């Protein structure tokens, strides 16, 4: 039985999966565990579409890629990344991206391969199950607390998944096309997509899955008093 610290340290974002959906009973176990995530006033502001229907996943991916290829940069409910990248976040973002491309032997100027790698997000890295997490627009109209709660929910899903040998990749790439996802899924008008999580069985032979970006030292972002 792994300890909680082991589970946290063993998780990393995987970007190549075997073509195997997650059995419904395991999805339910993961989601029941995630349902125990704390939230302010027990609001539980998440609404999850757990999708293993391949046609629906393909339709979402096709619609997003088509939108991108038509020159649209985003069609979203929330802006995830800062519009102006400042230190130290800009450097961390660049290092993380460069680390991944270097591992995969992709040149910085090789836009075609980089674009294909980005599009892999919308082919769900070969996985067959994706959770799309929405919140009620009323929860983020002038307030941001639900975003904190739904972020904690994300981590609980990813950690609980490991108990069943299920690996994951959180996705802000879908956040950027949240309205496209909402339209294809025909979700109620009151819902806004926050993010998705790809879930599946890791392709252990894939080099990309060995990527484990490091973290800054506590001295950079913890203040003990």
Nearer to ligand FMN, 50 or 197 (CB): 197
Q: Residue 27 or 168: which CB sits closer to ligand FMN?
A: 168
Cβ-contact 158, 197 below 8 angstroms: yes
In terms of CB distance, is 26 or 127 closer to ligand FMN?
127
Q: How far apart are CA 202 and CA 126, in angstroms?
A: 10
Q: What share of the chain is helix, strand, coil (3-state, %, to 5)?
A: 50, 15, 35
What sections of the chain are H helices per DSSP? Answer: 4-10, 24-34, 54-69, 89-103, 111-119, 145-162, 178-185, 218-221
Closest approach of ligand FMN to the CB of residue 125, in Å:
8
Residue with smaller CB distance to ligand FMN, 36 or 81: 81
Do the Cβ atoms of 52 and 23 come closer than 8 Å?
Answer: no
Give Rg (Cα) of the chain.
18
Q: CB 137 → ligand FMN: shortest distance, Å?
A: 19
What is the C-alpha separation between 88 and 222, in angstroms, rounded? 14
- To the nearest whole angstrom, how small is the minimum distance from the Cβ of residue 13 to ligand FMN? 4
Phi, psi of 202 (to 5 degrees): -60, 140
Integer angstrom CA distances of residue 177 from 39, 107, 125, 195: 26, 27, 17, 10
Dist CA 31 CA 47 (whole Å): 11
Residues at the site binding ligand FMN, with contacts judged by CB under 6 A: 12-13, 15, 96, 121, 169-173, 195, 212-213
Q: Say how far apart CA 86 and CA 106 lie, in whole Å.
A: 26
* Shortest distance, position 14 Cβ to ligand FMN, whole Å: 8
CB of 15 to ligand FMN, least distance (A): 6
CB 72 to ligand FMN: min, Å? 17
C-beta of 19 vs 81, nearer to ligand FMN:
81
> Closer to ligand FMN at the Cβ: 28 or 66?
66
């Amino acid at each position: 039985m792994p300890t909680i610290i082991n589970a946290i340290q063993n998780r990393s974002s995987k970007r190549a999966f075997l073509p195997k959906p997650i059995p419904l009973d395991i999805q339910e176990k993961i989601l029941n565990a995630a349902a125990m995530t704390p939230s302010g006033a027990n609001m539980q502001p998440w609404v999850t579409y757990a999708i293993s229907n391949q046609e629906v996943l393909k339709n979402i991916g096709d619609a997003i890629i088509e939108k991108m290829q038509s020159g649209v940069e985003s069609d979203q409910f929330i802006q995830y990344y800062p519009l102006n990248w400042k230190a130290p976040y800009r450097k961390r973002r660049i290092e993380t991206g460069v680390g991944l491309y270097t591992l995969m032997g992709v040149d910085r100027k090789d836009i075609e391969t980089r674009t294909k790698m980005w599009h892999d997000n919308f082919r769900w890295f070969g996985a067959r199950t994706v959770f799309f997490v929405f919140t009620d627009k009323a929860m983020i109209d002038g307030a941001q607390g639900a975003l904190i709660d739904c972020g904690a929910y994300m981590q609980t899903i990813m950690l609980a998944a490991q108990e069943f040998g299920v690996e994951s990749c959180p996705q802000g790439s879908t956040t950027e096309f949240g309205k496209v996802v909402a339209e294809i899924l025909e979700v109620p008008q009151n819902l806004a997509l926050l993010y998705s999580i790809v879930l599946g069985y890791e392709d252990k032979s894939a080099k990309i899955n060995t990527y484990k970006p490091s973290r800054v030292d506590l001295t950079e972002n913890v203040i003990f008093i």
